Structure 1
Amino acid sequence: MFAIVRTGGKQYRVAAGDKIVVEKLEGEAGASISLGDVLMAGDGSELKSVEGLLVSAEIVAQGRGEKIIVFKKRRRHNYRRRNGHRQYHTILKITAIGDHKDEGQSKQAKASPEAAPAAAEA
Structure 2
Amino acid sequence: MYAIIKTGGKQYKVQAGDVLQIEKVEQELGSEFKISDILMIGGEKAHVGTPLVKNATVTAVVTKQARTKKVIVFKKKRRQGYRKFATHKQDFTEIFVKAITSPDGQTSKSDETPVVKDMAKLREERIQQKVADHKARVSVRSADVEAAPASKKPAKKAATKKKATKKAAAKKAPSKRSVKTAAKKATKKTAKKTK
Fold equivalence (TM over 0.5): yes
Where does structure 1 lack aligned partners over 5 or more consecutive residues?
A: 101-122
Q: Contact (CA 8 Å) 1:56, 1:99: kept in 2 or not?
A: no
Matched, 1:96 2:95: no
For residues 58-112 of structure 1, give each alpha carbon's deviation from its aligned partner in whole angstroms, at most 9, with x where no partner exists. Answer: 0001010121111011111211110000000000000010066xxxxxxxxxxxx
Where does structure 2 lack aligned partners over 5 or more consecutive residues?
A: 104-195
SS at structure 1 position matched to 2:30: coil
Q: Which structure dedicates a bigger proportion of its chain to helix? A: 2
SS at structure 2 position matched to 1:6: strand
In the alignment, what sits opposite 1:86? 89
Matched, 1:8 2:8: yes
Q: Contact (CA 8 Å) 1:28, 1:61: kept in 2 or not?
A: no
Q: Distance in 1 between matches of 2:80 and 2:92?
A: 37
Change in CA separation of 1:57 and 1:99 when aligned onto 2, cut-off 3 Å? farther
Which of structures 1 and 2 has the larger relative contact order (alpha carbons within 8 angstroms, sep 6+)?
Answer: 1
Query: Larger Rg: 1 or 2?
Result: 2
Task: Give percent identity, aligned residues only.
Answer: 42
1:23-102 superposed matches below 5 A:
23-44=23-44, 46-48=45-47, 50-98=53-101
Q: Distance in 1 between matches of 2:39 and 2:47?
A: 11
The AA in structure 2 aligned to 1:73 is K
Q: CA RMSD in A?
A: 1.4
What is the number of equivalent residue pairs in this alignment? 99
SS at structure 2 position matched to 1:52: coil
TM-score normalized by the length of structure 1: 0.76
Q: Contact (CA 8 Å) 2:29, 2:62: kept in 1 or not?
A: yes
Shift of 1:48: 2.8
Shift of 1:51: 1.7
Q: Contact (CA 8 Å) 1:35, 1:55: kept in 2 or not?
A: yes
- Which segment is superposed worse, 26-35 or 55-64? 26-35
Q: List structure 1 runs of 4+ shifted beyond 2 angstroms.
A: none
